[in-house]
A = this chain, B = another copy of it.
């Protein structure tokens, strides 16, 4: 762990490092699930889609394991101040990552429906574009968490606005398309669910980024405007 938390107890650091490693492993696994679900969709790879749905339980098991570790860590070590914020943040973060795994499984499930349906002619251009954006967000959010980089976390928060904009515009494009060719309704609705899942993954990545700022600054920025976030970051640098 490179986030420069030093403690007198070697063992506490070890506990924290192990928990962080599990958290990052869980995040990487969920990210991989999203990538594979998208690959399954675009290539029509039903074997891979099935695999993504099956592997969701691995993400879920990590959630349970990490929360167990956190409970033990808090009970045994009684962390305070930033350490306590850190473990509480991990406890929140696993919920977001578990949901990302769920959304990946939903996309994989939709990939199966899209392949079975086989009637669609609408391209995956917008879906793939949005997918690339949210996967980058998740990757940055996890890296920001690993190294406790507040500026990088703030970038993730800001990029969620772009994702929402792209999402809205892709939804409008799909709506126009289905109005012109109502026979595509079933295909279009499947694509809409996928867009929604991607947009949700972006939200969860943003939540993880907010936790990074919370750990470092002590300010809960979950429902704050960007000006307040900037102030919290600035104050944490002085403090």
Contact = CB atoms under 8 A, between A and B. Distances in A.
A75 B77 CA distance: 11
Contacts of A196: 196
B95 A64 contact: no
Contact of A92 (B81, B84, B85, B95): B95
A74 interface: yes
Interface residues of A, number: 33
A175 interface: yes
Contacts of A84: 71, 74-75
Contacts of A161: none
Nearest to A218: B71
Given A178-B185, A189-B189, A85 B57 contact: no
A69 to B, nearest CB: 12
A185 B186 contact: no
A220 B68 contact: yes
Contacts of A223: 57, 60-61, 63-64
A2 interface: no
A5 interface: no
A206 to B, nearest CB: 13
8 contacts: A60-B223, A64-B220, A71-B88, A74-B88, A182-B182, A182-B183, A189-B189, A189-B192
